């Protein structure tokens, strides 16, 4: 593995509650190289989102530290942009203006033309350049998420953080967006941390999958290297025995070693109820 770009060392997080302290994360260690695509997978409540928020700087770790590109993370900033689960577009701004707001923040001295070029570039990257003047409520859920991704990318982040970016979408739209993300990743080679519940999604998109143990006091359980060659094609992978092997390893971690639900008779129901 190449040089460490993002380093989470001994990160711990506890929240104060009415019943005393709640230990959410304990001793999370993770080293990520530049240009890597990392998926965080685990059951609900295992602290995946907490890890993401810590890297984003939206919450502050109670112990340990996070170093990005030689500098400690303290507070949020556009170099760690976030794709929110529910797009979080400003409903009163058009598609164009939503991205423009972000571009303006990172290119303070740029001319109007430079900003416009950049906004158009990122919106065309997610194939949304046909709807520049639409308001968020006028476009579909998948399109909103595309704009959310364009906004995050337009900040030229050092790390792109995605919090279940496709969680609220239907299966077909989701597949379509996953392909888009892979294409964009091939072009821009961003460093990405993505939270997901979806095993197929994790294997398809990631270079490494970080599997987290169940909370409270969750931490990194196993890390799985996904050495499938790129570009990856979901249809071809369906016949690939190595793909199935990798997939099986994630499933076994989630449902055998760290199963959260009491098993029902058929494994299929177990899976769907655990995912929900």
Partner 1 sequence: MSALLNIKWQNMAFPFVGLLAFLFFWQIAASQVTTTLGSLPGPVATAQQFMGLVDEHEAEQDKKTAFYQRQEQRNADKLKADPDFKVTVRPYTGRPTFFDQITTSLITVATGFLVASLIAIPMGIILGLNQWMYQALNPVIQILKPISPLAWLPLVTMVVSAVYSSDNPLVAKSFINSAFTVTLCSLWPTLLNTTVGVANIDPDLKNVSRVLKLDPLTHVRKIVLPSAIPMIFTGLRLSLGVAWMVLIAAEMLAQNPGLGKFVWDEFQNGSAQSLARIMVAVVTIGIIGFMLDRGMLQLQKWFSWDKRSELR
**C-alpha dihedral, 81 to 82 to 88 to 94, nearest 10°:** 30
Structure tokens at 51: 């890890």
Sign of CA dihedral 119, 121, 126, 131: positive
Please identify, using beta-carbon distances, which residue of 84 and 179 lies nearer to partner 1: 84
Rg (CA), the chain: 19
Sign of CA dihedral 122, 127, 132, 138: negative
Q: By rule CB under 8 A, what count of residues binds partner 1? A: 22
Binding mask of the shown chain, residues 85 to 114, with x at each position contacting partner 1 by CB under 8 A: -x-x-xxxx-------xx--x---------
Please identify, using beta-carbon distances, which residue of 89 and 224 lies nearer to partner 1: 89
Q: Which of 46, 56, 139, 177 binds partner 1 (CB under 8 A)?
A: 56
Nearest CA-CA partner of 48 in 85, 18, 91, 99? 85
| 71 is an interface residue for partner 1 by CB under 8 A | no
Q: Centre a 10 Å sphere on the Cβ of residue 68 and count the other Cβ atoms it contains.
A: 20
Please identify, using beta-carbon distances, which residue of 92 and 272 lies nearer to partner 1: 92
Please identify, using beta-carbon distances, which residue of 97 and 259 lies nearer to partner 1: 97
| 81 is an interface residue for partner 1 by CB under 8 A | yes
Q: Do residues 26 and 220 lie in contact, with contact meaning Cβ atoms separated by under 8 Å? A: no
Site for partner 1 in 157-216 (CB under 8 A): none
| 77 is an interface residue for partner 1 by CB under 8 A | yes
| 144 is an interface residue for partner 1 by CB under 8 A | no
Which residues in this chain contact partner 1 in the complex, by CB under 8 A? 56, 58, 75-78, 80-82, 84, 86, 88, 90-93, 101-102, 105, 135, 137, 155
């Amino acid at each position: 593995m190449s040089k460490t770009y993002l380093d989470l060392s001994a990160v711990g997080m506890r929240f104060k509650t009415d019943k005393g302290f709640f230990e959410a994360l304990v001793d999370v260690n993770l080293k990520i190289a530049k240009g890597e695509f990392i998926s965080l997978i685990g059951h609900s409540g295992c602290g995946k989102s907490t890890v993401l928020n810590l890297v984003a700087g939206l919450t502050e770790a109670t112990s340990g530290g996070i170093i990005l590109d030689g500098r400690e993370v303290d507070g949020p900033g556009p170099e760690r942009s976030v794709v929110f689960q529910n797009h979080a577009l400003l409903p009163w701004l058009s598609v164009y203006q939503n991205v423009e707001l972000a571009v303006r923040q990172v290119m303070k001295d740029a001319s109007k033309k430079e900003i416009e070029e950049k906004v158009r570039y990122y919106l065309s990257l997610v194939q949304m350049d046909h709807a520049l003047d639409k308001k968020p409520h006028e476009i579909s859920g998948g399109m909103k998420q595309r704009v959310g991704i364009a906004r995050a990318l337009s900040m030229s982040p050092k790390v792109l953080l995605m919090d279940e970016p496709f969680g609220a979408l239907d299966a077909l739209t989701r597949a379509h967006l996953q392909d888009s993300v892979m294409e964009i990743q091939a072009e821009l080679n961003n460093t990405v941390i993505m939270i997901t519940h979806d095993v197929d999604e994790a294997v398809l998109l990631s270079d490494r999958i970080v599997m987290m143990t169940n909370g409270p006091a969750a931490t990194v359980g196993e890390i799985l290297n996904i050495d499938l060659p790129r570009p990856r094609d979901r249809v071809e992978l369906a016949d690939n025995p190595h793909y199935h092997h990798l997939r099986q390893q994630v499933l076994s971690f989630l449902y055998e070693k760290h199963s959260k639900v009491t098993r029902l008779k058929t494994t299929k129901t177990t899976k769907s109820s655990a995912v929900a």
